[in-house]
Chains A and B, each alone.
Chain A
Amino acid sequence: MTEKLLISLTVNGEQHDDLVVESRHTLVDVLRHRLGLTGTHVGCEHGICGACTILLDGAPARACLIFAAQAEGQDIRTVESLADGGELNDLQRAFSAHHGLQCGFCTPGFLMLAEGFLAERPEATREEIREVVSANLCRCTGYQTIVDAIEDCARTRRGEVGEPR
């Protein structure tokens, strides 16, 4: 159970070699506690709440349901990758403009969920966005403004509207 493994992970374009982990260590714990990337949050550790959502080779995944060792060789992206320098990206700006976050605990998960989804389906309708947003839990907002933010970002990326504010 406490077997030690030597692994390497590629996170946000940076390779981390010589990571000694136990086989049971989840990816989210290694990201947070070994690599210091604490933007990815832990909400339930059983794959329901989605606070730990990251991108694995571009697709949204629950980092609490994956062992770190399983993520070797995959491109891992976390919320820390979204902003360019100090500049928020368009999705982050849309969340702020629409008040799509209150306490902010679930927010990194929703951002990564939306990034992965919009990359796969830029033409997404509001109904499709709502369906995808239903994958994660938020206790503060009632979800409407999260859907608004993602829809607005998608429409802006499609050139249909200018950015809010």
Chain B
Amino acid sequence: MTWVGRSAARREDPRLLTGNGTFVDDIHLPRMLHAQFVRSTIANGTVTGVDLSGTLAVPGVVAAFTAADLEMGDITAVLERPPSEFVPTAMPVLARDRVRFVGEPIAIVLAEDPYSVEDGVEAAQVTYEAHPPVLGEEAALAPGAPLVHAAAAANTLVDVSMFATEGIDDIFAAAHRVVRVRSRTGRQNALPLETRGAVATWDAREEQLLVRTCTQVPHQVRTVVAGCLGLGERAVRVVVPDMGGGFGLKCVVGREEIAAAAAALRLRRPVKWIEDRRDALTASFLAREQRYDVCAAFDEDGRILALDADVVCDMGAYSCYPFTAGIEPLMASAELPGVYRVPAYRVRGRAITTNKAPSAPYRGVSRPQIVMVMERVFERAARELDLDPVEIRRRNLITEFPYTGINDVTYDPGSYLEALNLCERMLRDEGWYERKEQAAAEGRFLGIGYSCFNERTGYGSGAFAKRKMAVVPGFDLAQITMDLTGGVTVTTGTMSHGQSHETTLAQIAAGRLGLDLAQIKIHQGDTDRITYGFGTFASRSATIGGSAVARAATKLADRLLHLGAHLLETTPDDVELHDGHVRRRDGGGRALAYRELAEVAYLKANLLPKDAEPGLTATASFDVHGDGTFSNAAHGAVVELHPGTGRVEFLRYVCVEDCGVAINPQVVEGQCRGGIAQGIAGALFEEVTYDEQGEPLCASFIDYKVPTANEIPDIEIHHLETPCAFTESGAKGAGEGGTIGAPAAVLNAVNDALRPTGVELEDTPIRPETVQRAIGAYA
């Protein structure tokens, strides 16, 4: 039976639907202490005193520690680039003397219950010498600006100039038309509904620190915990329970889980830390605050000739581990040209540091912005050259593959043109262009917007090495063991946090082994069970993790064939796997059930072939040495603007996506829809803001507007399939595309609706008052 390509029912669902999932906050251990943090109340300054006597006097409080009390190394993420391009910054687990953002942890408080610990935190007295905060690009780059990190001149952590095609200035000088797009995107919170958290325990018998935490990258957490606490890697075990989302925020190593682990080690008692929502909004990791200044040269037919970009990303107070503050500017700089044939390219990408909570990857990483900027470039050019906005894209799309771009990236085959054409045809066939004309005649503001983009997935060690990361993520491992009942346990280095890997990875293994899903258990998130892994981020799990599973399954299948052939007294070529059995291809003789093979492999090793090892286990790895595989999609949005309120109402949203072979189409659609919802959130609603003292203004869901079912429309999804040639199942990644494509489509639709007003918006989030003002001024 073929399992890949079926919308198999999710195996995660029964426990999650009955309240029987185990999330980190569901873990209760005897003698467990509860931890919370005394956090900086100022954005920039020096701590002159920490008085925890009041804290320790609170009933229920057991201990409180500052950096001086716990010996902990810093978290330092590194790019192997020259000092002119990258400045490393150390992030202490607890602030020592210097604090760099409101919410930075200064001391950990431990108490018998979660209420007392809050009282303890409140009773702490911290005194500061406050310095003026650095709160934005202008302030950070101003001559003589105060420095967030002494080593980072001009508050710049990353500064790279790349590509610089020879003669690019001449191309601009001679071009028929040059268009310029300047765009800003707001700071956002990835906002998994489950906040961060950890339960750390010292296991005296194993002489091992057990850290149960909701992370996308268990092995990286192990490495940093071991490093900061001076333990051997083998003395730390990271186990991940059920996870309530991550979206990138949980693919970096945080400080709080390390402090909790240090406290557990010191006190020899289990320590639980569960981040509350206020800390999650103000003091965890943020993303997306970027500024683009882009010029593009065009010929008279609307063909792009050159692209020149300046990108500045506000990464907040520290570099995240392992990606560094380069995560956003390096992604933006490498991938800006996107799906278009750009003959000449120059980019400067910078990461600046400011007195705000630090940045981590967030679903899509810079690609929501670069797609938005490129799609704005083409919309602008279409207006100035009086071309149809879809037609100008068609003239510039990459249509022949493999294609090596000016950005030194090779794109594997995709369906860029087909997706855009289908998307446009759907909206035309449904009559939206006529409805738009009619609305305009009635003085209503209806607009149609598109985005056309690709999404690099399957970033292997080749792609991350190009970025010059000191820690090069990329490969992953899978191990499959058949047990005595003839079923298998698949252990993977990837870490599902909503993506349904217990279902999709089992589908991959099932097909190769001739097993039913019910006979396959997926095990993930335990650093003691697999050598190493890079977890789940950057749409890598189906491509890389899934390919490792497929290879391990193939190896195990091969062992079953050999053993079966031996026991059936024939050759491996003459037998096949079918429905949990090894049988002769010619149909002769008896079929051997897997449990019969397993019985020989484990309990009757005397019957094994002479050269065969006992047991039935296979391990395999997978990596991508080239540039990865590119999913692609086109989005079409139809919006109507409401003059009175400035509301952007969706009338239609369609997505044509191509992620190669969809292992489970229903899961792919779920990723698309959820991704689009987050893209819409960034386009219209969410922005983390600060006051002039660096005080975060979004400390609750009242200040940070997360869209609900009233704001997110129904989305129709169509699938195209351009299989990936080098992943084992033909799959490309599907985790981020929705988020990447939505802001551009929404912004273009809003601008199309605003066309009569002459206003063109370039920044997100698009605030209702902006829309209202544009229409008001016109009316």
Binding site for B on A (CB under 8 A): 2, 22, 24-25, 29, 32-33, 36-46, 48-49, 51, 78-80, 82-83, 88, 92, 95-97, 99, 101-108, 111, 130-131, 133-147, 165
B3-56 interface with A by 8 A CB criterion: 9-10, 12-14, 16-23, 25-26, 28
Q: Given contacts A49-B701, A137-B701, is CB(A142)–CB(B193) below 8 Å?
A: no
25 contacts between A and B (CB under 8 A): A29-B114, A37-B19, A38-B22, A43-B194, A43-B277, A44-B701, A49-B706, A82-B18, A83-B18, A88-B14, A96-B13, A96-B14, A102-B500, A102-B670, A102-B674, A104-B17, A104-B242, A105-B23, A131-B710, A134-B710, A139-B191, A139-B674, A142-B675, A142-B676, A144-B712
Contacting pair A79 B19 (CB below 8 A): yes
**Bound Cα distance from A80 to B243, whole angstroms:** 19
Partner pick for A99 among B192, B670, B676, CB 8 A cutoff: B670
Contacting pair A78 B670 (CB below 8 A): no
Which 3 A-B pairs give the minimum distances between C-beta atoms? Answer: A39-B19, A105-B244, A104-B16
Asked if B709 CB lies within 8 Å of chain A CBs, one says: yes
Total interface residues on B, CB under 8 Å, equals 57
| Most chain A Cβ neighbours within 10 Å, of B247, B277, B500, B670 | B670
Partner pick for B673 among A38, A104, A145, CB 8 A cutoff: A145
Contacting pair A104 B498 (CB below 8 A): yes
Contacting pair A147 B115 (CB below 8 A): no
Partner pick for B708 among A102, A107, A140, A143, CB 8 A cutoff: A143
Given contacts A24-B115, A101-B17, A142-B674, 19 further A-B contacts (CB under 8 A): A36-B28, A45-B277, A78-B19, A92-B18, A96-B10, A96-B13, A103-B242, A104-B244, A105-B193, A105-B194, A107-B16, A130-B710, A137-B708, A139-B706, A140-B245, A142-B675, A142-B715, A143-B677, A146-B709
Partner pick for A140 among B21, B22, B670, B710, CB 8 A cutoff: B670
**Bound Cα distance from A79 to B19, whole angstroms:** 6
Q: Given contacts A33-B28, A142-B715, A144-B673, is CB(A137)–CB(B17) below 8 Å?
A: no
Q: Given contacts A99-B666, A99-B669, A101-B17, is CB(A142)–CB(B712) below 8 Å?
A: yes
Contacting pair A96 B708 (CB below 8 A): no
Give chain B residues whose Cβ lies under 8 Å from the Cβ of A105: 23, 192-194, 244-245
Asked if B714 CB lies within 8 Å of chain A CBs, one says: yes
Contacting pair A134 B708 (CB below 8 A): yes
0/1 interface trace, chain B 715-748, chain A, CB 8 Å (1 if under): 1000000000000000000000010000000000
Asked if B499 CB lies within 8 Å of chain A CBs, one says: yes
Give chain A residues whose Cβ lies under 8 Å from the Cβ of B19: 37-40, 78-80, 108
Give chain B residues whose Cβ lies under 8 Å from the Cβ of A36: 28
In the complex, residue of chain A having the shortest beta-carbon distance to the beta carbon of B671 = A102
Asked if B702 CB lies within 8 Å of chain A CBs, one says: yes
A45: min CB distance to chain B, Å: 6
Give chain A residues whose Cβ lies under 8 Å from the Cβ of B708: 133-137, 143
Give chain A residues whose Cβ lies under 8 Å from the Cβ of B706: 49, 137, 139
| Most chain A Cβ neighbours within 10 Å, of B114, B115, B674 | B674
**Bound Cα distance from A82 to B14, whole angstroms:** 12
Contacting pair B192 A134 (CB below 8 A): no
B227-257 interface with A by 8 A CB criterion: 242-245, 247
Asked if B497 CB lies within 8 Å of chain A CBs, one says: yes
**Bound Cα distance from A42 to B25, whole angstroms:** 9
B274: min CB distance to chain A, Å: 8
**Bound Cα distance from A11 to B701, whole angstroms:** 29
A113: min CB distance to chain B, Å: 11
Give chain B residues whose Cβ lies under 8 Å from the Cβ of A97: 9
Binding site for A on B (CB under 8 A): 9-10, 12-14, 16-23, 25-26, 28, 59, 114-115, 191-195, 242-245, 247, 276-277, 497-500, 666-667, 669-670, 673-678, 700-702, 706, 708-712, 714-715, 738
**Bound Cα distance from A32 to B113, whole angstroms:** 13
In the complex, residue of chain B having the shortest beta-carbon distance to the beta carbon of A130 = B709
**Bound Cα distance from A63 to B674, whole angstroms:** 26
Contacting pair B244 A41 (CB below 8 A): yes
A53: min CB distance to chain B, Å: 12
A54: min CB distance to chain B, Å: 11
| Most chain A Cβ neighbours within 10 Å, of B28, B114, B498, B715 | B498
Give chain A residues whose Cβ lies under 8 Å from the Cβ of B666: 99
B371: min CB distance to chain A, Å: 19
Contacting pair A139 B245 (CB below 8 A): yes
**Bound Cα distance from A41 to B667, whole angstroms:** 24
**Bound Cα distance from A46 to B277, whole angstroms:** 9
Q: Given contacts A51-B193, A141-B670, A143-B708, is CB(A102)–CB(B499) below 8 Å?
A: yes
Q: Given contacts A105-B194, A139-B192, is CB(A79)–CB(B18) below 8 Å?
A: yes
Give chain A residues whose Cβ lies under 8 Å from the Cβ of B17: 79, 82-83, 88, 92, 95-96, 101, 104, 107, 111
**Bound Cα distance from A131 to B738, whole angstroms:** 24
B745: min CB distance to chain A, Å: 14
**Bound Cα distance from A146 to B710, whole angstroms:** 13
A87: min CB distance to chain B, Å: 10
**Bound Cα distance from A79 to B115, whole angstroms:** 25
In the complex, residue of chain B having the shortest beta-carbon distance to the beta carbon of A37 = B19
**Bound Cα distance from A24 to B113, whole angstroms:** 13
A164: min CB distance to chain B, Å: 11
Contacting pair B193 A138 (CB below 8 A): yes
**Bound Cα distance from A47 to B193, whole angstroms:** 13
Give chain B residues whose Cβ lies under 8 Å from the Cβ of A39: 18-21
In the complex, residue of chain A having the shortest beta-carbon distance to the beta carbon of B716 = A144
Contacting pair A48 B702 (CB below 8 A): yes
B432: min CB distance to chain A, Å: 20
Give chain A residues whose Cβ lies under 8 Å from the Cβ of B59: 2
| Most chain A Cβ neighbours within 10 Å, of B16, B22, B709 | B709
Give chain B residues whose Cβ lies under 8 Å from the Cβ of A107: 16-17
In the complex, residue of chain B having the shortest beta-carbon distance to the beta carbon of A24 = B115
Q: Given contacts A33-B28, A107-B17, A130-B709, is CB(A99)–CB(B667) below 8 Å?
A: yes
**Bound Cα distance from A69 to B500, whole angstroms:** 39
Q: Given contacts A46-B702, A95-B13, A104-B244, is CB(A139)–CB(B193) below 8 Å?
A: yes
| Most chain B Cβ neighbours within 10 Å, of A102, A106, A138 | A102
Give chain A residues whose Cβ lies under 8 Å from the Cβ of B498: 102-104, 140
Contacting pair A142 B20 (CB below 8 A): no
Contacting pair B670 A145 (CB below 8 A): yes
Give chain B residues whose Cβ lies under 8 Å from the Cβ of A165: 9
Give chain B residues whose Cβ lies under 8 Å from the Cβ of A37: 19
**Bound Cα distance from A117 to B669, whole angstroms:** 27
In the complex, residue of chain A having the shortest beta-carbon distance to the beta carbon of B706 = A137
| Most chain A Cβ neighbours within 10 Å, of B16, B20, B26, B247 | B16
Contacting pair A25 B115 (CB below 8 A): yes
**Bound Cα distance from A97 to B7, whole angstroms:** 10
Q: Given contacts A139-B247, A142-B715, is CB(A41)–CB(B23) below 8 Å?
A: yes
Partner pick for B709 among A45, A92, A101, A134, CB 8 A cutoff: A134
B447: min CB distance to chain A, Å: 21
**Bound Cα distance from A133 to B276, whole angstroms:** 24
Q: Given contacts A137-B706, A137-B708, A142-B715, is CB(A38)–CB(B701) below 8 Å?
A: no
Give chain A residues whose Cβ lies under 8 Å from the Cβ of B9: 96-97, 165
In the complex, residue of chain A having the shortest beta-carbon distance to the beta carbon of B13 = A96
**Bound Cα distance from A138 to B670, whole angstroms:** 12
Give chain B residues whose Cβ lies under 8 Å from the Cβ of A145: 670, 673
Q: Given contacts A45-B276, A95-B13, A102-B670, is CB(A144)–CB(B714) below 8 Å?
A: yes
In the complex, residue of chain A having the shortest beta-carbon distance to the beta carbon of B699 = A46
Contacting pair B115 A141 (CB below 8 A): no
**Bound Cα distance from A78 to B700, whole angstroms:** 25
Contacting pair A103 B18 (CB below 8 A): no
Contacting pair A140 B674 (CB below 8 A): yes
Give chain B residues whose Cβ lies under 8 Å from the Cβ of A41: 23, 25, 194, 244
A74: min CB distance to chain B, Å: 20
Contacting pair A141 B674 (CB below 8 A): yes
A69: min CB distance to chain B, Å: 14
B709: min CB distance to chain A, Å: 4
Partner pick for A48 among B16, B701, B711, CB 8 A cutoff: B701
